[in-house]
Amino acid sequence: MSLLEVEGLRTYFFTRRGVAKVLDGLNFSLAEGQIVGLVGETGSGKSVTGFSILRLVQRPGKIVGGQIRFAGRDLLKLSEAEMARLRGRDIAMIFQNPRMALNPLISVGRFLSHVIRYRAGISGGRVREEALRLLREVQIPDPERRLSSYPHQLSGGMAQRVMIAAAVAARPRLLIADEPTTGLDVTVQAQIVRLLKRLRDETGTAQILITHDLGLASEVCDAIAVMYAGEIVEFGPTASVFQSPKHPYTQGLLASRPKLGDTGEIPALPGSVPDLTNPPTGCRFHPRCPYAFDRCARERPAPRPVGDGRVAACFLYEEGDDA
């Protein structure tokens, strides 16, 4: 059984310019212990997916439809109090810019102690012991000394390790990592990625890795969900998605990814992500798609199986066609 099943999720933003349909019928699932990479250009709805799962979408955003089933419970039907109990304990999230998330006036030890007491329910003398164990688990050197460090005394990589330690304190069943390596140097990025993977191997925590970095996703993820303009256009095992991408958007994304030695974001594909207050009719990718034909502007393609355990939302794969 899946740990998480997202079905027809719609999250809209009610802006002065109109209603931005940032997630418009999102479907995907995640098994226990699986790492799924949510990839796509900036503005595709990746982060909003993470916030929606945790029901932390801020106004003017609102979840307007769909289901998010986690361990058999529909999160959209839970009371706010039930949801608050679940956050941090069963589902945790880490963000980019970890130093911004840490209070500059609170030491690492005090921060972790609070998290351990509140989320893991540990008290008394065992709190410090647990804080040290967590710092060792995320491979922070000299953990005794780090307990008394303040955020400004930590490197970006160290601060992210502290955030990961806090996130896994209660042994969550699902960890959502939103661009966890952005702003870190390449060596530290690799260390954080290996750390996330090791945590999964050792604790069985399922993960959603939200990233624009395809190299990172290919290294750590079991499956890839490619997002475009609020929809998942292709989903499947990492190796097959990377070796033979089916959806034209995935093909374009992979063709334009930085080659060895390049740094920075994925170079933009021709055209840009559409304005979601006025998205294209039919297939949202049709204005940028080299294979678009008449029907693409009229009808929205449904996700369909395309072999190798994959699904793609594209008319090119109807009734056994293969592009």
Instruction: Among 134, 286, 303, 306, indicate the residue that binds ligand SF4 (CB under 6 A).
Output: 286
How is 33-74 classified by DSSP, letter by letter? Answer: T-EEEEE--TTSSHHHHHHHHTT-PPTTEEEEEEEEEETTEE
Residue appearing with tokens 């250009």: 41
Stretch that binds ligand SF4, among 75-83, 100-108, 256-264, 309-317 (CB under 6 A): 309-317
When asked if residue 255 is in the footprint of ligand SF4 (CB under 6 A), the reply is no
CA distances from 230 to 38, 119, 225, 243 (A): 12, 32, 12, 24
When asked if residue 283 is in the footprint of ligand SF4 (CB under 6 A), the reply is yes
Stretch that binds ligand SF4, among 15-23, 110-118, 165-173, 312-320 (CB under 6 A): 312-320
Stretch that binds ligand SF4, among 99-107, 132-140, 146-154, 281-289 (CB under 6 A): 281-289
Based on CB atoms, which residue is closest to ligand SF4, 18 or 305? 305
Instruction: Among 26, 39, 162, 314, indicate the residue that binds ligand SF4 (CB under 6 A).
Output: 314
When asked if residue 316 is in the footprint of ligand SF4 (CB under 6 A), the reply is yes
Say how many C-beta atoms besides its own lie within 10 A of residue 104's C-beta: 9
- CA atoms of 288 and 39, how far apart (whole Å): 18
Instruction: Among 296, 306, 310, 311, indicate the residue that binds ligand SF4 (CB under 6 A).
Output: 296
Q: Which residue, among 186, 172, 255, 256, has the nearest Cα to 219 in the 3D structure?
A: 186
Q: Are 160 and 101 in contact (CB under 8 A)?
A: no
Residue appearing with tokens 């661009």: 179
- CA atoms of 140 and 12, how far apart (whole Å): 40
Instruction: Among 95, 111, 235, 315, indicate the residue that binds ligand SF4 (CB under 6 A).
Output: 315
Instruction: Among 42, 271, 291, 308, indicate the residue that binds ligand SF4 (CB under 6 A).
Output: 291
Based on CB atoms, which residue is closest to ligand SF4, 189 or 251? 251
The binding site for ligand SF4 (CB under 6 A) comprises 248, 283, 285-286, 289, 291-292, 296, 301, 314-316
